[in-house]
């Protein structure tokens, strides 16, 4: 059981590491946001599931396990809202990638409406 928990948390560390490397290396703002989603989904989920099992089986503390599960549901529910809000606000504020994008339907349609 302990080994399974360790593997879950190590997976989580790996995905968080990949997300951080992506955030440092990606060429423009929107691609960096994609990598930050990587941190917020699998970087969180492994720790949440592993911590839930650890609190149940090793510590025998049910209230801690319930709190960790609530925390995980909270992350999963709120993160896309914040990501969407920041992406839309950044585009409307005038953040553009240095290199041209392959296709930019949103910019074309915004120009037509204005």
Partner 1 sequence: MKKTTFPAFLSTALLIYCFWLLITGQIVAIFQGRASWEVLVAGALVSGFVSLFTARFFIHRNAFYLLAPKRFFSLLAYVFVFLWELTKANVDVAFRALNPKLPVNPGIVKVPADVKAEYGLSMLANSITLTPGTITMDIADENGKTNYYIHWINVKETDPAKAGDAIKGTMEKWIRRIWD
Partner 2 sequence: MNELIFFAICFVVLALTLLYRLIKGPSVADRAVAADSIDILADMALILFALFSGRGIYLDIALVTAVLGFIGSVLVARYLEGRL
Kindly state the smallest distance separating residue 108's Cβ from partner 2, in Å.
20
Using CB under 8 A as the binding criterion, the count of chain residues that bind partner 1 stands at 43
Which CB sits closer to partner 1, 2 or 10?
10
Nearest C-alpha neighbor of 30 from the set 95, 109, 75: 95
| Contacted entry of partner 2, partner 1, none for residue 18, CB cut-off 5 to 8 Å set by kind | partner 1
- Say if residues 58 and 86 touch (Cβ distance below 8 Å): no
Cβ density class 21-42: b for 16+ within 10 Å, e for less: ebbeeeeeeeeebebbebbbbb
Backbone angles phi, psi at 62, to 5 degrees: -70, -35
Q: Which residues bind partner 1 (CB under 8 A)?
A: 14-15, 18-19, 21-22, 25-28, 30-31, 33-35, 37-38, 41-42, 62-63, 66-67, 69-70, 76, 79-81, 83-84, 87-88, 91, 97, 101-107, 109
């Amino acid at each position: 059981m302990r080994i399974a928990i360790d593997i879950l948390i190590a997976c989580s560390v790996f995905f968080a590491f990949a997300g951080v490397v992506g955030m440092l290396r990606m060429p423009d703002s929107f691609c960096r946001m994609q990598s930050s989603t990587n941190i917020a989904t699998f970087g969180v989920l492994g720790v949440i599931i592993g911590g839930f099992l650890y609190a149940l089986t090793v510590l025998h503390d049910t209230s801690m396990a319930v709190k960790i599960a609530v925390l995980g549901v909270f992350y999963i529910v709120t993160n896309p809202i914040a990501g969407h809000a920041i992406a839309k606000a950044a585009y409307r504020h005038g953040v553009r990638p240095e290199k041209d994008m392959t296709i930019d339907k949103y910019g074309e349609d915004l120009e037509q409406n204005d």
